[in-house]
Amino acid sequence: MDSTGDAAAEPLLEVRGLSKIFGTLKACDSIDLEIRRGEIHALLGENGAGKSTLVKMLFGALEPTAGTIRWKGQEVAIRSPGEARRLGIGMVFQHFSLFDALTAAENIILSLDDPAPVSAVAARARELSRAYGLPLDPQAHVGDLSVGERQRIEIIRCLLQDPELIILDEPTSVLTPQEADKLFDTLETLRSEGRSILYISHRLEEVKRLCDRATVLRGGRVVGHSDPRRETAASLARMMVGGDVPVVVRDKPAATREALLEVRGLNRKAGHPFAVSLSEIELTVHAGEILGVAGVAGNGQGELFEAISGEALQESADTVRICGHAAGRHDITGRRLMGAAFVPEERLGHAAAPFMTLTQNLLLSRYRTDARAFLGRLGIIRNAVVASAAKRVSTAMDVRKGSEDPEATALSGGNLQKFVIGRELDRQPRVLVVNQPTWGVDAGAAARIRQALVDLAKGGSAVLVISQDLDELFEICDAIAVMHGGRLSTPVPIAEATYEKIGLLMGGARPEATSGLPLEETV
């Protein structure tokens, strides 16, 4: 990259008055933004502030309603991701688009505008992976890789195009702390080469550590620029939310010993080559209790969730018991009728159908449990009743949306997350099983969701929280168990749990091997 005098002074990317209107909603309202060469620029904001919308316009995945984009001083119209790539803009989406059955190299080739032979691409990918400290085997099948490794494929595939601006939309929400550290090293190398990075994240600590400048959005408008190094996480959060972030209040509920969710000797063979098999899972959640399941993604959490929710049945009815009923042979509807509620990790496509409205998505998980209210004779749907329930959920969880009853896909990620959690909480379930409750949710909303989980437990329900976010688990759980390689450790009571102890278990240490730690009492 030649950076002659005046070229360096001029910003790499300059955005003036960029707006995007969805119907009546101004998702982005006349945004001005400047990205200099060789900086890591943070884009911050609450859920629904318009961050993803803005970067999608920069990457040609959405068409702006108004405004101009200047690239190296030239006004450009970016009409497709292909054009963005040709200009030198690369993007790593939060949700990867990789094919499990293909190798890393083959996946990379698929994204190239001008196809090249596999061997050449593999060689180039190896070169890049060495240069940027992104260990990767081009011949590995994507299905066998961890989320962190998959992200590396996405990054390398983006680097192959030699981009000058790299956009990362919430890259660390799926990574372990160790993987995130590696990613930061790579980003710093990229910056030192004079490349620019636009970085979206809800994790303010890492923004402080990594980024040179920050732009904060609220309600589609730029509300401020700042130097994150001079701010605290709390002051950045205040700027995003426009007020203080609530603190989760947790007072010890009266301990009862009524077991509401029990799993005994759960084994599950991997259903497909890329799944993890579960072995001898044991867990009990009592009324009033929150049990956390920590672990690096891809260690069987998804499989555990499916087994408990009844999307996958067990061989024996007693393997899973819900509120005292043997549930192992009941499907998800049967388990819901026993009093359980479920929130899977993937909100779009699993928890909610993308092209159905919120009202229809409410019906999706509650047509049986609330049949008396929602359905008339002959299974006729009482639309007005369902719609008012959806409205109640939106109000309770402060779901921000552009129209009265939008399709799920038109909601920002965090707002949809609030809705799918609120949909289950609205039932006041006796047992709640939730996987990654605050994935991609802003600080204020995350606090609200956690508070809601705590309140549910306080009301006498049993809550099982599967999460990668240790801070979250430490904040709300009574005990934490760790999932590794399809096995679940014995739960560590929160009073005895430390980050080190849990971290070791996450890394695969057998509880016996971590001798010297007070853990042994519970084994």
Ligand X SMILES: Nc1ncnc2c1ncn2[C@@H]1O[C@H](COP(=O)(O)OP(=O)(O)OP(=O)(O)O)[C@@H](O)[C@H]1O
**Cα–Cα distance, 200 to 169 (Å, whole number):** 5
**Cα–Cα distance, 185 to 202 (Å, whole number):** 19
Residue 220 near Mg ion by CB under 5 A? no
Number of residues that bind Mg ion (CB under 5 A): 2
Closest approach, Cβ 70 to Mg ion, in A, equals 24
Location of structure tokens 């993987």 = 179
Closest approach, Cβ 247 to another protein, in A, equals 33
User: Going by C-beta distance under 8 Å and a sequence separation of 6 or more, which residues neighbour residue 26?
Assistant: 19, 20, 220
Tell me the C-alpha to C-alpha distance, in Å, between residue 131 and each of 92, 136, 162, 199. Answer: 19, 12, 13, 21
Q: Which of 173, 309, 438, 467 binds another protein (CB under 8 A)?
A: 309
Cβ nearer to Mg ion, comparing 416 with 421: 416
Q: Which of 292, 413, 437, 511 binds Mg ion (CB under 5 A)?
A: 413
Span from 137-145, 156-164, 342-350, 498-506 in contact with another protein (CB under 8 A): 342-350
Cβ nearer to ligand X, comparing 129 with 412: 412
Q: What are residue 433's DSSP bridge partners?
A: 342, 464
Residue 116 near another protein by CB under 8 A? yes
Output DSSP code: residue 262. Answer: E
User: Going by C-beta distance under 8 Å and a sequence separation of 6 or more, which residues neighbour residue 494?
Assistant: 474, 477, 478, 479, 480
Closest approach, Cβ 444 to ligand X, in A, equals 11
6-32 burial by CB neighbour count: b if 16+ within 10 A, else e? eeeeebbbbbeebbbeeeebbbbbebe
Number of neighbours of residue 357 by Cβ within 10 angstroms: 19
Span from 6-14, 192-200, 360-368, 389-397 in contact with another protein (CB under 8 A): 360-368
Span from 37-45, 192-200, 230-238, 330-338 in contact with another protein (CB under 8 A): 330-338
Residue 254 near another protein by CB under 8 A? no
Span from 43-51, 215-223, 279-287, 332-340 in contact with another protein (CB under 8 A): 332-340
CA 160 to chain centroid: 26
4: exposed, middle or buried (C-beta count within 10 Å: 0-12, 13-18, 19+)?
exposed
User: Going by C-beta distance under 8 Å and a sequence separation of 6 or more, which residues neighbour residue 263?
Assistant: 281, 282, 283, 284, 307, 308, 319, 320, 321
**Residue 369, both tokens:** 């449990």
Q: Residues interacting with ligand X, by CB under 6 A? A: 22, 25, 27, 45, 47-53, 400-402, 410-415, 440, 442
**Residues in the chain, how many?**
523
Closest approach, Cβ 19 to ligand X, in A, equals 12
Q: Which of 15, 39, 43, 52 binds Mg ion (CB under 5 A)?
A: 52
Q: Considering CB distances under 5 to 8 angstroms, the limit depending on partner class, which of another protein, Mg ion, ligand X, none binds residue 414?
A: ligand X
Q: Which of 192, 272, 378, 515 binds another protein (CB under 8 A)?
A: 378
Closest approach, Cβ 482 to another protein, in A, equals 26
User: Going by C-beta distance under 8 Å and a sequence separation of 6 or more, which residues neighbour residue 474?
Assistant: 480, 494, 497, 499
Q: Which of 155, 351, 446, 449 binds another protein (CB under 8 A)?
A: 351
Q: Considering CB distances under 5 to 8 angstroms, the limit depending on partner class, which of Mg ion, another protein, ligand X, none binds residue 351?
A: another protein
Span from 3-11, 220-228, 406-414, 509-517 in contact with Mg ion (CB under 5 A): 406-414
Q: Considering CB distances under 5 to 8 angstroms, the limit depending on partner class, which of Mg ion, another protein, ligand X, none binds residue 342?
A: another protein
Residue 233 near another protein by CB under 8 A? no
Residues between 29 and 58 that touch another protein (CB under 8 A): 56
Number of neighbours of residue 2 by Cβ within 10 angstroms: 6
Cβ nearer to ligand X, comparing 25 with 155: 25
User: Going by C-beta distance under 8 Å and a sequence separation of 6 or more, which residues neighbour residue 250?
Assistant: 454, 475, 476
Q: For residue 321, which of 256, 257, 278, 263 has the smallest C-alpha distance?
A: 263
Q: Which of 2, 114, 251, 512 binds another protein (CB under 8 A)?
A: 114
- Please tell me whether residue 101 adopts helix, strand or coil conformation: coil
Output DSSP code: residue 402. Answer: S
For 440-468, the DSSP string reads T--HHHHHHHHHHHHHHHHTT-EEEEE-S
For 11-56, the DSSP string reads -SEEEEEEEEEETTEEEEEEEEEEE-TT-EEEEEE-TTSSHHHHHH
Q: Which of 7, 9, 73, 82 binds another protein (CB under 8 A)?
A: 82
Q: Considering CB distances under 5 to 8 angstroms, the limit depending on partner class, which of ligand X, Mg ion, another protein, none binds residue 400?
A: ligand X
Question: Distance between terminal CA atoms of the chain?
Answer: 58
Cβ nearer to another protein, comparing 142 with 482: 142
Closest approach, Cβ 320 to another protein, in A, equals 16
Closest approach, Cβ 210 to Mg ion, in A, equals 19
Q: Considering CB distances under 5 to 8 angstroms, the limit depending on partner class, which of Mg ion, ligand X, another protein, none binds residue 353?
A: another protein
**Residue 2, both tokens:** 């030649």
Residue 147 near another protein by CB under 8 A? no
Q: Considering CB distances under 5 to 8 angstroms, the limit depending on partner class, which of another protein, Mg ion, ligand X, none binds residue 336?
A: another protein
Closest approach, Cβ 388 to ligand X, in A, equals 21
Q: Which residues in this chain contact another protein in the complex, by CB under 8 A?
A: 56, 60-63, 79-80, 82, 109-110, 114-117, 309, 311, 331-333, 336, 342, 344, 346, 349-356, 360, 363-365, 367-368, 375, 378-381
